[in-house]
Amino acid sequence: MGMVAIEAQASGLPVLASEKVPAEVLVLPGMVKFLGLEKSFREWADTLMEMLPLRRQGDTVSEPQWAISSFNMEVCCSRLKEVYLGHQ
pLDDT digits 0-9 by tens, 51-81: 999 888 777 777 788 778 877 888 888 888 8
Query: Residue 88 pLDDT more than 60?
Result: no
Burial of 61 (0-12, 13-18, 19+ CB in 10 A): middle
What's the number of domains the chain is made of?
1
pLDDT of 43 above 70: yes
Are 70 and 79 in contact by the 8 Å Cβ rule? The answer is yes
Q: In terms of residue numbers, what domain contains 43?
A: 3-85
Q: Is the pTM here over 0.85, yes or no?
A: no
